Structure 1
Amino acid sequence: MQWKNVLSTMKPYKPGRSIEEVKKTYRLDNVAKLASNENPYGCSSTVTEFLMSAALPFEIYPDGHGATLRTKLARKHDVEESSILFGNGSDEIISIISRALLDENVHTIMPTPSFPQYAHNAKIEGANITEIPLKDTYHDLNDFIGAINDRTSIIWVCNPNNPTGSLIPSDELESFLEQVPENILVVLDEAYFEYVTDPEHVDSITLLDRFPNILVLRTFSKAYGLASFRIGYAVGSSKIITELNKVRNPFNNNTLAVAVASEALDDDGFIEKCRKLNEIQRERYKSFAFETGLHMFDSETNFVLMEVPTDADEASEFLLQHGYIVRSGNALGTPGFVRITIGSEEQNTGLLEAFTLLLQEKGR
């Protein structure tokens, strides 16, 4: 087989351990998965009710246009329907963008540590990559500007950033966008947008008229609680969306996923409830970090990056043995920390009790 040479330097994505696997391995009755930033409150009751009664034509190909969902999203964001691109999760949209714009002759800029799929897809396409280290957990936008050259095609901005949870102040983001040449696509990956509580934060979609070279990514996998349905979307200028649609597979979203997302979009109350509950529980982690003298990055998401008193893999294993699946920072480019999804009140109480035992055992 004539594989691309770069594949020999890469590894397949390694999914986290499942609840059932952990129960079996450690002989536990109760396990909380707090590793993948899923919504602990599930999804809207309107979705549950819909699934119980839906009668969909499964023998027919999906609506490749996603008409009903497209109309609702266009109305919600006050954009043209032609400004929306659907993907099989945001992951696929990142792949579509990379396939459309990157090759061995172009250059792309991204933060590190951040969502690994930017670099993963850029490597597959053979692009020249510049990774800009975070500065005090934030994107160093000045260095982003300094890294631009005449071959730069895409700049990736993860906002809020994964795995740190940090949010770029809106005025700084707008100042940055003013300095980026119009022929460079700026991808604003906003998977955790619905969890942001900063009152000064500006919805990036409202910036499209001023900055037609931006593309905003959103997802139904996080706050909407629809991770298993794999549906995300991008909002940008019709011109950009048209080009990306040339790369998109014709039926990349299945009928059920589109129908469910359309139902979920109607329940703003559910999203507001989840945002408030998440903020309350996020403050618990902040207080715990302060009381124990641990460093925790400021977060505007449904996860926190918490310092641990030992190796991150060792700490993750300890918490695993107590029934809590978290993500080791060693796998995220943040050694000495673990990323913890903010769960329900009960889940967080148990996790913090287990974390306290970790501190006691490791002498802190």
Structure 2
Amino acid sequence: MSFDPERLAQPAIRRLRAYDPGHDLPRLRTRFGAVLAELGSNENALGPSPAALEAAHAALSETYRYPDPRCGALREALAQQHGVTPDQLVFGNGSHELLMQLAQIFAGADAAVMHAQFGFAVFPIAAAAAGAPAVCVPALPRTHPTAPLGHDLDAMADALREDVRLIYLANPNNPTGTWFTHAALEAFLQRVPRDTLVVVDEAYGEYMQAPGLDTAIALLDAHPNLIVTRSFSKAYALAGLRIGYLLAHASVAAVFERLRESFNINQVAQAAARAVLDDAAYLQSAIDINAAERARMERTLSERGFATLPSQTNFLLLDLGEDAQVLEQRLFDQAVIVRPMGGYGLPHTLRVSVGSRAENDRFLETL
């Protein structure tokens, strides 16, 4: 018999399909050069805070040492910022790692995972990797007035069953950009049993501005089964340093720490993240620029007859009403990279990041 490593893998891993990161952007940067408009990965085109860059550069001289395994300085700063205790925080190599590990810890063959249709792609991957049954609840209809294709929290509560151990939500949601209100989340949590963990992924949380939309962090004290994940990759523009964190009841965080790798956050990432927290002017600028450019793109697309979903993120979901693959390829041929959403079950849509003004103009002109 020939060597077959797949046969040696655990059954859950054999059934798994890897996360699709999209186009090979390093290769495309070489191919297209400065003309490339990278609007497929929801990055902050403003670039990192000067304070973060300075701190990262200074930290390079200490890279021969192991990093602080507790992320002590960053932990204290985040605890103060969010009004939690330091032992309520856990750090990850991006929030992606944390979302995957939550399923490893709390889900399994007899402990199901619930998520919404058109939710973040990592949710079903995390369930599959843990060998857990997945309960996918249909999204709100496309005709919904405020959250088309968004989470249907009432339907998710109605679909709860005894074996559901973990529920993944995203607010605002990737890839739709839609959101649910703070009041709606409170009502949902009231219907969830205390032994069922609810994870609210707020990777785009800094961009929240809509009335009634607020972070779930304020609900942690009242709901010990609530977990909130956050990221430095989006509004803080540190995607290349891979750093995220979760906030939870201290007892939940303590269980998580048993699995977390001791030195999973490198020295440079810790320094940059700690520095950017003090640069409030940078963060506000990033939020304001994103909101203005997103509104301009929405307005221009609407004037041309294109439909976009409402968004509280740094991207728009463009709904073409027909297969979007041809348009995506034509944009690609002109060095404009957007993200087709066929893998999410949305083949009629394209996700377009809000980039720099020059990149957004390139997209609109090429379109």
| TM > 0.5 | yes
Shift of 1:29: 4.9
Judged with a 3 Å threshold, the aligned counterparts in structure 2 of structure 1 residues 56 and 251 are, in CA distance, closer, same or farther, namely same
Shift of 1:291: 1.2
Shift of 1:292: 2.1
SS at match of 2:307: coil
Match of 2:74 among 57, 60, 69: 69
Match of 2:358 among 343, 346, 362: 346
Q: Which residue of 2 aligns with 1:99?
A: 104
Q: Is the 8 A contact 1:22 1:320 kept in 2?
A: no
Letter in 2 for 1:234: L
Give the length in aligned residue pairs: 354
- 1:118-157 equivalence runs, <5 A: 118-135=123-140, 136-157=148-169
Q: Which residue of 1 aligns with 2:258?
A: 246
Query: Is 2:308 the counterpart of 1:288?
Result: no
Aligned counterparts of 1:184 and 1:247: Cα–Cα separation in 2: 20
Aligned counterparts of 1:310 and 1:320: Cα–Cα separation in 2: 18
- 1:70-219 equivalence runs, <5 A: 70-135=75-140, 136-219=148-231
Aligned counterparts of 1:349 and 1:29: Cα–Cα separation in 2: 14
Match of 2:45 among 40, 43, 48: 40
Q: Is the 8 A contact 2:51 2:272 kept in 1?
A: no
Q: Is the 8 A contact 1:28 1:323 kept in 2?
A: no
Shift of 1:265: 1.1
The RMSD of aligned alpha carbons is 1.6
Match of 2:332 among 320, 335, 339: 320
Judged with a 3 Å threshold, the aligned counterparts in structure 2 of structure 1 residues 237 and 344 are, in CA distance, closer, same or farther, namely same
Q: Which residue of 1 aligns with 2:241?
A: 229
Q: Is the 8 A contact 1:19 1:31 kept in 2?
A: no
Aligned counterparts of 2:170 and 2:316: Cα–Cα separation in 1: 16
Judged with a 3 Å threshold, the aligned counterparts in structure 2 of structure 1 residues 119 and 198 are, in CA distance, closer, same or farther, namely same
Judged with a 3 Å threshold, the aligned counterparts in structure 2 of structure 1 residues 54 and 62 are, in CA distance, closer, same or farther, namely closer
Judged with a 3 Å threshold, the aligned counterparts in structure 2 of structure 1 residues 315 and 196 are, in CA distance, closer, same or farther, namely same
SS at match of 2:308: coil
Q: Structure 1 stretches of 5 or more lacking a match? A: 356-364
Match of 1:269 among 281, 286, 300: 281
Q: Is the 8 A contact 2:172 2:180 kept in 1?
A: yes
Shift of 1:266: 1.0
Q: Is the 8 A contact 1:34 1:326 kept in 2?
A: yes
Judged with a 3 Å threshold, the aligned counterparts in structure 2 of structure 1 residues 64 and 29 are, in CA distance, closer, same or farther, namely closer
Q: Which residue of 2 aligns with 1:3?
A: 9
Q: Is the 8 A contact 1:139 1:168 kept in 2?
A: yes
Query: Is 2:65 the counterpart of 1:60?
Result: yes
SS at match of 1:70: helix
Judged with a 3 Å threshold, the aligned counterparts in structure 2 of structure 1 residues 202 and 322 are, in CA distance, closer, same or farther, namely same
Q: Which residue of 1 aligns with 2:145?
A: none
SS at match of 1:233: strand
Shift of 1:331: 2.4
Letter in 2 for 1:315: L
Shift of 1:178: 1.1
Letter in 1 for 2:318: M
Shift of 1:263: 0.8
Q: Which residue of 2 aligns with 1:12?
A: 18
Q: Is the 8 A contact 1:164 1:304 kept in 2?
A: yes
Aligned counterparts of 1:226 and 1:20: Cα–Cα separation in 2: 17
Identity of aligned residues (%): 32
Shift of 1:23: 5.1
Please report the TM-score for the alignment, with normalisation by the length of structure 1: 0.93
Shift of 1:242: 0.4
Q: Is the 8 A contact 2:40 2:352 kept in 1?
A: yes
Judged with a 3 Å threshold, the aligned counterparts in structure 2 of structure 1 residues 75 and 350 are, in CA distance, closer, same or farther, namely same
Q: Which residue of 1 aligns with 2:143?
A: none
Q: Is the 8 A contact 2:60 2:268 kept in 1?
A: no
Q: Is the 8 A contact 2:177 2:313 kept in 1?
A: yes
Aligned counterparts of 1:239 and 1:7: Cα–Cα separation in 2: 29
Judged with a 3 Å threshold, the aligned counterparts in structure 2 of structure 1 residues 28 and 76 are, in CA distance, closer, same or farther, namely closer
